[in-house]
Each structure stands twice: as structure tokens, then as C-alpha cells.
Amino acid sequence: MTDTRHPTSSGASTPSLSTQLLATARCVRAVEQGRSLSDVLPEVAAPLRPGVQALTFHVLRHLGTARAVVASLAPRKPQPAVHALLCSAVALLLDEGDERGAAGSAGARVPQYAAHTVVDQTVNAAREERGTARQAGFVNACLRRFLRERTPLLASLADDPVARWNHPRWWIERLQRDHPAQWQAILEASNQPGPMTLRVNRRHSSREAYRQALQDIGLASTPVGSDGLVLDAPQPVERLPGFAQGHCSVQDAAAQMAAGLLLEGREEARIHRVLDACAAPGGKTAHLLESADLDLLALDVDARRCARIQDTLARLGLRAEVRCADAARPEAWWDGRLFDAILLDTPCTASGIVRRHPDVRWLRRESDVAALAATQRALLDTLWPLLRPGGRLLYATCSVFRAEGSAQVQAFLEHHTDARVRPSVGHLLPGSASAAGQFNDNHPGGYDGFFYARIDKAGP
């Protein structure tokens, strides 16, 4: 038996791989049952959580291949707990050395384990899981067969798009229709971990001063956008200078564009009263307030998420009115005063941020796209009358699907003769540049997938 524990700097031992694999398989199974990792990971014991998060992210980025391999090894699908454990082990055994060792959002890494160690520890995990001990021999046989037949077995999956791209078939087909020249690049980027990008709070420090503070503790970074720094390697936020005091926040470069797009030419346009209609967890709200003195109302329909907005603002030393309310029902929260600007970062499929949330691809269903597009359309129609003539609305989604982006805005323009679209980002594709090529600074890891359209209301 291989002991995979190793001492930490404090002298304690990290959990064995079998223990981590067992927890990882439970997380994978929960996702397959329809639960979000955002809900599942907090249930993992704190000492296990960083390693299990990194392992689970790795497995979900390879789940299409892993499922196909397990189906070949076991034509009769094993019970769910065994199936999840086998998929987790196969994902670690796949020859993906370029990603191995990549860090998760908390800085945890997926080590390079020897194949025999993965097999040994997976068998141990099967023995430890309730109801699967009798399947340990079956698990051992499947994994050893995969090691013997890896090359021909993987070759046999070459024509399976789900195994090749590790996304649902409907998702792949939609990208092929929406982005015929870029769909492969989008899928490739979505299977890689996103970089850790910081937003420097300009009310506390300049970006260059904060970059130097990072350099002073050995952390290299690259500027992006107006306030961003991309770290060369992810770090626990506790290591970032002044994080607890609000000197910076973690926010992808694509999300950081919202404040600048909404506030461009603010003085001339008389932008002061602002609505952030779907504000949680508060990153864009905070960036707006870091950028300008505003009378800002932040809404979210979930009380727990509103608490997160408050926590975010408190850490950064910012103030706004935060209300738990449904943006689609203004009669419950609107005081009748028109807004100068509205940020509508609307609920969407999150198809542009799967490199940071790899569970999303397996949780979404094809029918979700139309349902969410209907919600987006309703929010646009409801909030537009709350904007003063001469004001502006920034429509944003973290989606790469055209039904939630360009098609949505085009339909809105056809029904609102007082609306004008300003030149803006449009579809920003993950990992590189937008579909039209507007952004080519090529910072490490590129952007998350987003869509932005600034819509101005005709003046009096």
C-alpha cells in the first residue's frame, strides 16, 4: 500500500490521496445529481477542501473523456458512487501533463501522481466508501485495464465530440452555430484554468504602487485594463498585501470592463444616480464606487447574496444602498426617480466562465438557454422605462451564446425605437480576444467569456 501523505511546514500531514479521492467522487456525484459546486464544496471538511476543490475541478474538466472511458471499461454502468470514483481516477490517469499542477482559485494544485499510486489509492477509497467495499476488486480491474489499453481505448473515442471536448453535445453544437470560426478555441480555453486577476482599489492605491507591493513579496504580475493585475501564479488571498483592508479584489479582466463601459464620459453625461440591478456578489458594484462618487442602488433577489454585497463593500470601505428585491418587480422597490445609468448584469447560462466553474457545463440543460433568454428579455423591458431620457443601460452577460447576447440586443432594438447601441465590446470570447478582435493585449490566460452592449436612451 502506498502512503500518499506528506508533512506540511507545520509538521502536520496532508490527507491521503484515497481520502481526497473519496471526497472528490462525492462532489462529482453531487454535480451529476444537479447540485452546484458552490453549494457542495463548503460541505467538505476544511482541511480537505483545497485539495478536493483542485481535484474536482480537474475531474470536471475531463469528465466527458472519463465517462466515455468508463463506459468502454464497464459496458454495464456501475452504481453511482463507483462510477463517480472511477471517473475521478480516470481523469487523473489521462495523459494531460500540460495542465497537471495547475492551481485552483485558492492556490491548491493537482500533483503529478504515479499511475500505480492512483490505482492503489482509488481501490482504498472504494473500500472506505459505504456500500462500495465489495466493488474494490472491480475498480482495480477496470483501472489496470485502462493502463494496459490506454492508447487504443482513447483512439476509439476520437469521433466522440463529448469525449473530445468535455462539454455536452448540445453545448458544442450551439457554439458551432454561434461561433463557426472560434468554437474550437472557445472549448479549448474553457478546459483550462483561468488566471487569478486582481482589481486594485484606486481609492486605496495606484495600480503601479500595488504592483510594487506584490513584487516586494515575490509575486509577479502583469497589468490589464485600467485597474487590473494578472498574477503569474494564483495565491491565497491571505497572502495579498492589504487584502483584508480592501486594497484589492479578485475579479476577472472581462468583468472589470463593466465599470468603464457604464461610466465612460460620466461628467458630460451627468451620470450620478445608478442602479446595479442584479448586483451580487458585488464585484461590479464595488468597481463602480471605486471609480466615481455615485448614488448607487444595488439589488439582488437573494438575501444571502445581498449579505455578500454588504460584506464586499465593507471590506473595501465603500457605501451603497443594498436592497433584497426582484429587479423584475420595480413596484416593490422603485421610488419613482429615474436612473441616469443602469447596469443589468443579468442571470445567464454562465457559459463564458466555465474555466472557473467547470461544473456549469454539466449542470446546464439545452432548455435553460431559452428560459434564461426570456428572463433577460423581461428584465430589459421592465428596467428600460426606469432610465431617464439621455441615460444609458449596460447589458451584460457572462455567456458566449448569441441568444443571450447579440440576438437579445437586436430583438430589444427592434421593439424600442428610443434605444441606440453605442460601440462596445459585444461578444468577448474566453481565453483570448473578442469575436471582432477588439482586445489584443494578450495578457496571460486572456478573458472570461462575456457579452457587453451599452444602450443609450434618446434624449428629450
Specify whether 271 is located in the same domain as 420. Answer: yes
Count of the separate structural domains present in the chain: 3
Match 454535480 to its residue by C-alpha cell. 31
Specify whether 444 is located in the same domain as 307. Answer: yes
DSSP codes joined into one string, 413-454 = HHH-TTEEEEEEEEEE-TTS-BTT-------TT----EEEEE
Specify whether 399 is located in the same domain as 263. Answer: yes
Specify whether 237 is located in the same domain as 268. Answer: no
Specify whether 313 is located in the same domain as 224. Answer: no
The pLDDT of residue 432 is 58
Specify whether 280 is located in the same domain as 420. Answer: yes
Predicted structure pTM score: 0.91
Specify whether 277 is located in the same domain as 402. Answer: yes
Residue 342 within any structural domain of the chain? yes
Specify whether 296 is located in the same domain as 414. Answer: yes
The whole domain housing 390 covers 257-457
What CATH number should be reported for the domain holding residue 369?
3.40.50.150
Span between the terminal Cα atoms of the chain, in Å: 78
Show the cell assigned to 347.
442571470
H or E segment at 169? helix 169-178
Tens place of pLDDT for every residue, the chain, 460 residues?
A: 343 444 333 344 678 999 999 999 999 999 999 999 999 999 999 999 999 999 999 999 999 999 999 999 998 889 999 999 999 999 999 964 444 334 444 445 677 899 999 999 999 999 998 888 889 999 999 999 999 999 999 999 999 999 999 999 999 999 999 999 999 999 999 999 999 999 999 999 999 999 999 999 999 999 999 999 999 999 999 999 999 999 999 999 999 999 999 999 988 889 999 999 999 999 999 999 999 999 999 999 999 999 999 999 999 999 999 999 999 999 999 999 999 999 999 999 999 999 999 999 999 999 999 999 999 999 999 999 999 999 999 999 999 999 999 999 999 999 999 999 998 888 988 875 444 444 444 455 578 999 999 999 998 7
Q: Are 447 and 398 in contact (CB under 8 A)?
A: no
Question: What 3-state class would DSSP assign to 36?
Answer: coil
The pLDDT of residue 445 is 59
Show the cell assigned to 307.
449579505
Residue 133 within any structural domain of the chain? yes
Residue 212 within any structural domain of the chain? yes
What CATH number should be reported for the domain holding residue 77?
1.10.940.10
Specify whether 135 is located in the same domain as 240. Answer: no
Specify whether 96 is located in the same domain as 40. Answer: yes
The pLDDT of residue 75 is 81
**Residue ranges in 129-193 assigned as alpha helix (H):** 136-155, 161-165, 169-178, 183-190
The pLDDT of residue 265 is 92
Specify whether 141 is located in the same domain as 266. Answer: no
Specify whether 230 is located in the same domain as 265. Answer: no
Which residues are marked as active site?
398
Residue 182 within any structural domain of the chain? no
Q: Tell me the C-alpha distance between 119 and 134, whole Å.
A: 16
Residue 219 within any structural domain of the chain? yes
Residue 188 within any structural domain of the chain? no
Residue 4 within any structural domain of the chain? no
